[in-house]
Amino acid sequence: MDISYLTKLIKDECLSVGFSKVGIAEVKYYPDDKLYLENWLKKNRNASMNWMKNNQEKRTNISNYYSKSKSVISVALNYFNGSSREDYPAPYISNYASGVDYHIIIKSKLKKVLEKINNLDSSIHGFYCADTSPIMEKAWAQRAGLGWIGKHTNLITKEFGSWVFLGELIINKTLNYDNEFSQDLCGNCNLCIQACPTDALVDSFQLDANKCISYVTIEKRGEFEEENKIDLNDWIFGCDICQDVCPWNIKFSSSTTEEDFKDRFNLKGKDYNYWEKLDEEEFRKIFKNSPVKRTKFSGLKRNILLAKEQNQNDL
């Protein structure tokens, strides 16, 4: 099949299934990926996320993960459904967490794309992923021309700001490749670093998960230790502060067209009184197929109790 035809077909299909942006990069080894990851891990900025230490050779070199890989098709999907804090009572959950788990949605869409091109050419093989495979997806999205990695370490697009989920389709065929997004359009802006209430953004493009509200409320397991307890600032799942202040998000954010990302249960409108009364049965009902399931009922209740305690101490 002609490379130009196949490239256009893949991009058209990605947009047809609902992705907001698509770009393609050639599979190559980039030593900087390995250097960045190694330095981050040496400083223990992964906190208790020890799985980040696993599969480093695969994570920093896709060919070690899939030896026949030729092309990385990167996609972005706008998930913005309104600010998590604007006109809403405390406590807050991250914007992305009020809808259906993005892993489910992105993988479902990428599966359709792979099936479509495989039906046209049975020699095309590959795999799709969304955050769960050892892929440095933000770096590949930048190489595919989707946007640039901002100082808050999220990928920023010109069209939607950083309110995008990323996914990848990696195949064994050479395609026409897009130019890497080589500009750093953050410029001299440091608003995300200045706004982080826990100083988790220790420097430009450097996130210390130990201090990050998102990490603490989602990934951290067990009870909070007194010696390293951070102020949750009324967040009970995730945190959007560094994204809320980003000028690109303020200017270019637009409501998602993906119905599954909408706030189905008006979770943003719930106050502390509601969350304190939430029982496990209601939790399972509301958060079926939701990202919030990751922290489990016990983790969410732990977050709620600490956030409210800190809220009252601030009064």
* Whole-number percent of the chain with pLDDT over 70: 99
In a domain, 185, yes or no: no
CA angle 113, 117, 122 (to 5 degrees): 135
Among candidate residues 160, 1, 10, 25, the one with its CA nearest the CA of residue 95:
160
The answer to whether position 119 is within a domain reads yes
Are residue 271 and residue 140 in the same domain, yes or no? no
Q: CA gyration radius for the chain?
A: 20
Determine which one of 12, 32, 101, 131 is catalytic. Answer: 131
Domain carrying residue 161: 3-85+97-171
Domain for residue 186, yes or no?
no
- Tens-place pLDDT, residues 277-295: 999 999 999 999 999 999 9
Q: Specify whether 231 is catalytic.
A: no
Residues 130 and 196 occupy one common structural domain: no
Structural domains in the chain (count): 2
Within a domain: 177: no
Residue 74 and residue 9 share a domain: yes
Task: Compute the distance between CA of residue 201 and CA of residue 199 in angstroms, rounded to an integer.
Answer: 5
Domain contains 219:
yes
Q: What integer pLDDT is reported at residue 315 of this predicted model?
A: 63
Q: Are residues 130 and 26 in the same domain?
A: yes
Same domain, 42 and 158: yes
What is the enclosing helix (H) or strand (E) of 72? strand 71-78
Residue 141 shares a structural domain with residue 54: yes
**Rounded distance between C-alpha atoms, residue 290 and residue 312, angstroms:** 29
**Between helices 102-120 and 3-16, what is the axis angle to 10°?**
150
Same domain, 16 and 125: yes
CA distances from 156 to 104, 105, 123, 261 (A): 22, 21, 34, 19
pLDDT of residue 267: 93
Task: Please give the single-letter amino acid code of residue 105.
Answer: I
Same domain, 156 and 198: no
182, part of any domain:
no
158 and 211 housed in the same domain: no
In terms of domains, do 278 and 219 share one?
yes
* The domain boundary residue, chosen from 171, 206, 232: 171
pLDDT digits (tens, 9 = 90+) for 243-289: 999 999 999 999 999 999 999 899 999 999 999 999 999 999 999 99
Task: Please tell me whether residues 219 and 161 are part of one structural domain.
Answer: no
The answer to whether position 165 is within a domain reads: yes
pLDDT in tens, 73-89: 999 999 999 887 888 99
- Residues 168/74, Cβ–Cβ less than 8 Å: yes
Give yes or no: residues 163 and 276 share one domain. no
Residue 110 is assigned to a structural domain of this protein: yes
